[in-house]
Amino acid sequence: MSDESVPAASDGVRADDAAGTAAAEPIPAELDTVEAAAPETVVAERAAEPTAAVIDSAEPAAAEAEEPAVPEPAEDATAPADTDSAAVAEPVVVAEAGRPTPASVRMGDSEYLEIRGLSVSFDGFKAVTDVDLTVLQGDLRFLIGPNGAGKTTLIDAITGLVPASGSAQKSGSELLGRKVHQIARLGVGRTFQTASVFEQLTVLQNLDIAAGAGRSALTLLRRRRSVLPSIEAALETTGLEALRDKPAGVLAHGQKQWLEIGMLLVQNASVLLLDEPVAGMSAEEREETGNLLRRIGTDRVVIVVEHDMDFMRAFANSVTVLAGGRVLSEGSVEHVQADRKVQEVYLGTAAAGDIYAETEEVADVGTR
């Protein structure tokens, strides 16, 4: 659950705004074009520091009158794109004794994330040990645990930021062993604890850059004449329609997080890994964020790493608890809250014993 940025002019942005399409630092108003790096360079740089645009799936460009876009070879989304690295073989999924039935057997064409025996070590220290986790489309899963439990490390492993052993499959495609941008192309997106957006560009321009992550550098330099349907949909889903022409830098903290999520949506991410999305938010922003997660989670796989227990209780469909790099408990919010092992981890053995005794006493009274 941490090269050069590629800003792009949006055809949904007025011509006099096009000069502001450089990311990360101001661009003089007299410039009407920007330099663009290859899209894969963006992914490599942003993987080193927090970023929203980690998906490299292409959005069809709108009609552009200036000159036709240079056709690019079609990619096989189930295989690594780099020619300088060996292809990652897709393992045959076989149910092991004691392991759950593979999600592919249960889900058919629906999206899912299935992790089996995933482990991460740093200089001999096991940060994550033999984790099994299956999250299905429509299940808003919260990943909780005390500090140092391995939550963010697990997300880092899934997205290729740290090496890991075991298996992590997105709808049947193995993720482990692939590069960050290859995983992104498969439709896996993540956010970090601090929202990272292009603050000097408008909300619309941020979304346009994200939507154009798979386009050629030449195409990125052209202005679009209209806003892509995927961008319009993201503005509506995130509730940012009225702010589309505002610089991202003037947005409230929560709105920046929503914009970052929107940048994943326009890239058609079907698996979203969100690291503490409500950290530092007001109560109202937390409520709006929870409702947003419910909207996007109906047809996607969404995993939320979170410390806010009130937020978890209000919006989680299911919960996985990590402790010491291992899965401690998993199930509904009610099941996890009643688990004595979870109470011991969060409250200490003595306090958990008191709570457990009170729970038993209440249950006993109820049966009399």
For residues 63-90, average pLDDT: 42
Say how many C-beta atoms besides its own lie within 10 A of residue 127's C-beta.
20
DSSP character for 102? P
Average pLDDT value over all residues in the chain: 75
Does the pTM exceed 0.85? no
Q: What is the pLDDT of residues 149-204, one digit of tens each?
A: 999 999 999 999 999 999 999 999 999 999 999 999 999 999 988 888 999 999 99
Q: How confident is the model at residue 292 (pLDDT cuts 50, 70, 90)?
A: very high
Cβ-based neighbours of 65, under 8 Å, separated by 6 or more:
225
Determine the Cα–Cα distance for residues 87 and 218; give it in Å rounded to an integer: 28
How many CB atoms within 10 Å of residue 365? 8
Percent of the chain with pLDDT over 90: 57
pLDDT, position 45: 41
- Could you please state the CATH topology (level 3) that the domain comprising 15-57+103-331 is classified under: Rossmann fold (3.40.50)
Query: What are the backbone angles phi and psi of residue 67, rounded to the nearest 5°?
Result: -165, 150
Cα gap 293→261, rounded to integer Å:
9
CA separation for the pair 322, 63 (Å, rounded): 48
Nearest CA among 281, 201, 210 for reference residue 244: 201
Residue extents of the structural domains in the chain: 15-57+103-331, 333-368
